[in-house]
Copies of this chain bind each other. A is one copy, B any other.
């Protein structure tokens, strides 16, 4: 163990890890897990591949680190929303809006639900699972509250509502609609929040 200025060294390494995770987050949002290569990540950060593997032992662990970060941002947003004067439905709609805005900003990593080795790495990651459970618990509470107030369809199982919110956070409709270039980002987000909660019907 070196004794000389361990603080500086520590901070430098932490900053490098943050840079890696930030690149991974952006690349995952851009192209998804399978299309993202470790070579791209290291080229983007400007380090050698072997250096990256000193910080993270696998590509899956990289993705897990990015997911931890996005879950932290989501939990921060939930905390912020609790401080506002909104009912449960309003908070849930605000969460959906936040997720769409993250996606527009290129900050919403997209992971394939099919990849088994990735899923195994995620469920084995305590930092990830803890945050996922906490997020699900808090949202679950809001869902029950909104259903009790008659603001959410009480005939739907809360888990269905929760899964739907998670799925809509990565809704590909946003991307194709945005690529058409015919509407503003704000307009698109409004429409998507509307269709999520009120559906397509008139």
| Contact A164:B195 (CB < 8 A) given known A35-B115, A113-B176, A180-B159 | yes
In contact, B35 and A191 (Cβ under 8 angstroms): no
**Tally of contact residues, A, Cβ under 8 A:** 43
Binds B, one of A100-108, A132-140, A150-158: A150-158
Digitize A164-178: 1 where CB-to-B-CB distance is under 8 Å, 0 elsewhere.
100100011101110
Q: How far is the CB of A183 from chain B (nearest CB, A)?
A: 7
Asked whether B112 lies within 8 Å of A150 as measured between CB atoms, the reply is no
Q: Are A183 and B157 in contact (CB under 8 A)?
A: yes
Docked complex: A140-162 residues within 8 A CB-CB of B: 147, 150-154, 156-157, 159-161
Is residue A163 contacting chain B, with contact meaning CB distance below 8 A?
yes
19 A-B residue pairings within 8 Å (CB atoms): A32-B114, A113-B176, A151-B202, A153-B194, A153-B198, A153-B201, A153-B202, A154-B202, A156-B194, A159-B182, A160-B177, A163-B176, A163-B177, A164-B200, A194-B199, A196-B199, A197-B201, A198-B199, A199-B201
Which residues of A does B touch, CB under 8 Å?
Answer: 30-32, 34-35, 89, 112-115, 147, 150-154, 156-157, 159-161, 163-164, 167, 171-173, 175-177, 180, 182-183, 191, 194-202
